[in-house]
Amino acid sequence: MDGHLTAPAGPRLWTRPRLIKQAWLRWAIILCAVLYLVLAIGSVEVNWTRVSEGLVRAARLFAGFLQPDFISRWSDIQQGLIESLTMTVCATVFGVILALPIGLGAARNVAPTWLYGICRAIIAVARAFQEIIVAILFVAMFGFGTFAGFLTLSLSTIGFLSKLIADDIEEIDESQVEAIRSTGGGFWQVIDYAVASQVMPRLAGLIAYKFDINFRESSVIGIVGAGGIGATLNTALDRYEFDSAAAILLIIIGIVMLCEYASGWIRKRMA
């Protein structure tokens, strides 16, 4: 010991990362982006007559929230609600069953390379199109009704959960995996004791969250003929029955809020 203490290194100063080092090039890109934004906004054709008429209809719609009509079209609302809940529950369960093995195969740290590539390709295909486009395709193939909606929401669930499950598995603590393997544990022992124990709390929350998303999506895809409460809402709006439309929207808001609270409760219990 020489009696001298080494001074601790001071904190590193944060510097703003520069993707483009040339200042003139950065300003040129910014100016081009602003110019494009101005031209894009100027190209939007606004029909002020239709805007004024739309504001009147919007006032009538918001007025309907003050006196929502749950009675006049209750049979249609009930049928649409049952269809949406049926599609949501079945598609979520079916999607989770398929998403678990696909997500496991799409995790680089537990799956072989060939399986990783196949599963990642499946996820990419499932996530390639927005739900409304997929619903239009399924309606064209299988006709109007809840079956097209079920297939749409199932595909959406597979793409959503598989990717997040795979990403969570790739971020687990590898020391637990090595500990199980060092004791002679096989593949399924590693999955059960090292992988599932780390991702299960988040997975439960994701499933509840996706159930919430599926119900909201069922309200949208019904507009294109895939069944559900969305078709009932679209019919009410087409007939300018804003009091009935307000009732449907309030029901959707209530169920979404219930799903949100249930999701938070499940995540807290699983943590």
**Residue 107 in domain:** yes
End residue of a domain, out of 26, 42, 66: 66
Residue 93 — very low, low, confident or very high, per pLDDT cuts 50/70/90? very high
| Confidence band, pLDDT 50/70/90 cuts, at residue 10 | low
pLDDT at 221 over 90: no
Same domain flag for 236 and 139: yes
Domain range for 54 is 18-66
Task: Give residue 35's pLDDT.
Answer: 92
Which of 42, 66, 90 terminates a domain? The answer is 66
- pLDDT (average), residues 123-127: 88
Rounded Cα distance, 148 and 17, in Å: 47
Check whether residue 190 and residue 256 sit in a common domain.
yes
Taking residues 225-245, report their average pLDDT.
Answer: 81
58 and 126 together in one domain: no
Do 35 and 165 reside in the same domain of the chain? no
Inside any domain, residue 3: no
In a domain, residue 116? The reply is yes
| Same domain? 126 vs 184 | yes
Question: Is residue 228, in this structure, part of any structural domain at all?
Answer: yes
For residues 95 and 30, state if they share a domain. no
In a domain, 200, yes or no: yes
134-152: per-residue pLDDT in tens? 888 888 888 888 888 899 9
Does residue 54 sit in the same domain as residue 128?
no
Is there a domain that residue 4 lies in? no
Residue 31's pLDDT band, with cuts at 50, 70 and 90, is: very high
Euclidean distance between CA atoms 75 and 247, whole angstroms: 13
Pick the last residue of a domain from 6, 35, 66: 66
Are 35 and 114 in the same domain?
Answer: no
State the pLDDT at residue 4.
53
- Shared domain for 50 and 179, answered yes or no, is no
At residue 53, the pLDDT reads 78
| 167: pLDDT strictly greater than 60 | yes
Is 8 part of any domain? no
Tell whether the model's pLDDT for residue 13 goes beyond 70. Answer: no
pLDDT of residue 5: 52
At residue 67, does pLDDT exceed 90?
A: no
Q: Is residue 28 predicted with pLDDT exceeding 80?
A: yes
Percentage of the chain with pLDDT > 70? Answer: 86
Q: How many domains does the chain have?
A: 2
Task: Tell me the pTM.
Answer: 0.72
Task: Give the pLDDT confidence of 73-89 residue by residue, as tens digits.
Answer: 788 888 888 888 888 89
The answer to whether residue 175 scores a pLDDT higher than 60 is yes
> In this structure, are 32 and 161 located in the same domain?
no
Please, which pLDDT band fits residue 2 given cuts at 50, 70 and 90? Answer: low
Same domain, 123 and 256: yes
Residue 6 lies in a domain: no
Lowest mean pLDDT among 108-122, 134-148, 198-212: 198-212
Task: Say whether both 160 and 61 belong to one domain.
Answer: no
Q: Which CATH number goes with the domain that contains 200?
A: 1.10.3720.10
pLDDT tens profile 243-270: 888 888 888 888 888 877 777 777 677 6
